[in-house]
């Protein structure tokens, strides 16, 4: 009886052998895909059961035959345990099943726990049930970066072969649970807002479009839930948040995936400085709870989340990194001339407008070099059409971004609640769109109407959950934090 996979053998031949075993099992009256199984113990619990019979189940990851004895390893999400199967302790049908087992099969067992002479905790099996026959062998191992796309595409295999992958997603789940509890404890109410929107808004991005047949109308997948959450502030809520799946029709790289998770919250009677204090406490506490301390290492870089965090203005940052003073260079024409004078190269295809060119400049020459955690504050008013101007400097907005290792983790600002100013800002966006800016925001008449009803002074905040997970789990790419990332279609 041969248990080890010969990976040099063609895959179709290996599958054919397994399918033949499956048909033989059916002929013997065995259902190779059992309806259910009373798994009373996880493998972790089975390892602690003592002298009582253990009933558990898992996937076979090793099979070793020694005459009348067979040793097997099975795993579930809680751990691994060795099995000892003696042919003389199994009935005839169970022996037939044993002869046709392969790596990857899922089995259920009942047996007694003991420790081998080698010191390994083992279940001596008295009853064996086949629960699922695996007809496609698992690869023996992944072979470095050349298989990275296949790992993402067949995440179900990746999870089975690479325990660290599961660790990342477990950490992500714990992070989301923490964030929800944190906001709940502050009195925020979790809500849900539309994913399909007749007018997209709340961010500067290109949307995905779809069509509703019954209404014969084009809709957009949301790029943000901001405008709907602020409608709720108008409607009388003081504190709301949403864990949202958002969609942006943009390129894919280590910091971007077209489908991603955001948490946004809005707090009435607050400003952006209040949200900086909340951010420091929330994120530093999350780091401590998930790592046991307020320091961690990301891609070899030591990070210290002890508060307070440094704050630097957008102007000072660009002045240091590019030599351009945005207090002096205040128009698009002046900025383009400065780029030429200082020989600063930028790809401005599809980009127009003063603030949008500045954003490209910042992302090229400043952000990649920032370690943090660091707050960047006081962006030009043109940069965020939904943000309120600073009373002492109307050319800037009351805003901040949290940057960690080149990632923009959080963006927040005091919300613009003047309907006339909001309309004027969106009219500026329309002109940018006419000039060729592909990510210009749209004018939303219903939202203007809501502001005319009256929105109290409000501050809003958005966090990229995938990006913070990448930092906390030391992942170089967002694809490692998203269970099923967006990929090119399989050839």
DSSP letter string over 322-375? Answer: H---TTT--SHHHHHHHHHHTT-----TT--SHHHHHHHHHHHHTGGG--SSEE
CATH number reported for the structural domain that contains residue 187 in this entry: 3.30.930.10
**Together in a domain, 82 and 221:** no
Place of tokens 């940052």: 317
Q: Is there a domain that residue 475 lies in?
A: yes
**Together in a domain, 274 and 406:** yes
**Together in a domain, 182 and 96:** no
pTM, whole model, 2 decimals? 0.90
Q: Is there a domain that residue 151 lies in?
A: no
pLDDT tens per residue across span 337-384: 999 999 999 988 888 889 899 999 999 999 999 999 999 999 999 889
Q: Which of 89-120 are b and which e, b meaning 16 or more Cβ less than 10 Å from the residue's Cβ?
A: bbeeebebbbebbbbbbbbbbbbebeeeeeee
Predicted pLDDT at 5: 40
Q: Is there a domain that residue 331 lies in?
A: no
pLDDT along the chain (491 residues), means of 10: 50 94 97 96 93 94 91 95 96 96 97 93 96 91 61 89 91 98 98 94 89 93 95 98 94 86 97 97 98 95 96 96 95 94 90 90 94 96 92 94 96 96 92 84 93 98 96 94 89 74
Q: Is there a domain that residue 210 lies in?
A: yes
Last residue of a domain, one of 132, 149, 168: 132
Quote the number of domains for the chain: 2
Predicted pLDDT at 142: 52
**Together in a domain, 214 and 272:** yes
Q: Domain limits at 283?
A: 160-310+372-480
Is the distance from CB of 264 to CB of 242 less than 8 angstroms?
A: yes
CATH number reported for the structural domain that contains residue 53 in this entry: 2.40.50.140
**Together in a domain, 393 and 467:** yes
Mean pLDDT of the chain: 92
Give me 299's structure tokens: 């891609």
Q: Is there a domain that residue 323 lies in?
A: no
What is the distance between the terminal CA atoms of the chain, rounded to a whole angstrom?
37
Predicted pLDDT at 144: 46
Predicted pLDDT at 148: 81
Q: Is there a domain that residue 334 lies in?
A: no
**Together in a domain, 395 and 256:** yes
**Together in a domain, 208 and 114:** no
The H or E element spanning position 464 is: strand 458-464
Q: Indicate the Cα dihedral angle 66, 70, 74, 80, nearest 10°.
A: -60
Is the distance from CB of 90 to CB of 98 less than 8 angstroms?
A: yes
Q: Is there a domain that residue 337 lies in?
A: no
Give me 437's structure tokens: 């800016």
Query: Residue 268 pairs with which residues in a beta bridge?
Result: 458
Q: Is there a domain that residue 126 lies in?
A: yes
The H or E element spanning position 428 is: helix 419-434
Helix runs in 202-297, H state only: 226-234, 272-291
**Together in a domain, 27 and 70:** yes
Predicted pLDDT at 351: 85
């Amino acid at each position: 009886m041969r248990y080890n996979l010969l990976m040099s053998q063609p895959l179709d031949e290996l599958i054919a052998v397994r399918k033949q075993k499956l048909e033989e099992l059916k002929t013997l009256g065995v259902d190779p895909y059992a309806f259910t199984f009373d798994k009373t113990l996880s493998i972790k619990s089975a390892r602690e059961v003592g002298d009582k019979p253990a009933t558990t189940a898992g996937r076979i990851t090793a099979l070793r035959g020694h005459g009348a004895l067979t040793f097997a390893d099975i795993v579930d999400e809680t751990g691994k345990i060795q099995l000892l199967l003696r042919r003389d302790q199994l009935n005839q049908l169970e022996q037939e099943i044993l002869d046709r087992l392969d790596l990857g099969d899922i089995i259920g067992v009942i047996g007694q726990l003991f420790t081998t002479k080698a010191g390994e905790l083992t279940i001596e099996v008295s009853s064996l049930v086949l629960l699922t026959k695996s007809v496609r062998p698992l690869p023996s191992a992944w072979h470095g970066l050349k298989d990275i796309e296949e790992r993402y595409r067949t995440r179900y295999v990746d999870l089975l072969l690479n325990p660290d992958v599961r660790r990342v997603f477990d950490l992500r789940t714990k992070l989301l649970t923490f964030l929800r509890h944190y906001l709940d404890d502050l009195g925020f109410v979790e809500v849900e807002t539309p994913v399909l929107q007749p007018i997209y808004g709340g961010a500067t991005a290109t949307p995905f479009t779809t069509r509703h047949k019954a209404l014969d109308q084009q809709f957009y997948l949301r790029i943000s839930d901001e405008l709907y959450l602020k409608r709720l502030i108008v409607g009388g809520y003081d504190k709301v948040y949403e864990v949202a799946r958002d969609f942006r029709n943009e390129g894919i790289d280590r910091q971007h995936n077209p489908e991603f998770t955001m948490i946004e919250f809005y707090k009435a009677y607050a400003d952006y400085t209040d949200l900086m204090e909340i951010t420091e406490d929330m994120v530093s506490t999350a780091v401590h709870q998930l790592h046991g301390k307020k320091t961690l290492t990301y891609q070899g870089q030591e990070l210290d989340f002890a508060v307070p965090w440094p704050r630097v203005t957008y102007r000072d940052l660009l002045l240091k990194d590019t030599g351009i003073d945005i207090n002096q260079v205040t128009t698009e024409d002046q900025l383009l001339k400065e780029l030429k004078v200082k020989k600063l190269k930028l790809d401005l295809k599809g980009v127009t407008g003063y603030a949008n060119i500045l954003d490209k400049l910042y992302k090229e020459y400043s952000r990649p070099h920032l370690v943090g955690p660091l707050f960047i504050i006081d962006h030009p008013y043109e940069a965020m059409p939904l943000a309120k101007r600073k009373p002492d400097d109307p050319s800037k907005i009351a805003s901040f971004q949290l940057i960690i290792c080149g990632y923009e983790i959080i963006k927040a600002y005091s919300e613009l609640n003047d309907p006339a100013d909001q309309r004027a800002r969106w009219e500026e966006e329309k002109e940018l769109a006419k000039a060729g800016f592909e990510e210009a925001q749209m004018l939303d008449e219903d939202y203007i109407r809501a502001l005319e009803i009256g929105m109290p002074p409000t501050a809003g905040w958005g966090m990229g959950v995938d990006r913070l997970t990448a930092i906390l789990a030391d992942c170089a790419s967002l694809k490692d934090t998203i269970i099923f990332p967006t990929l090119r279609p399989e050839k």
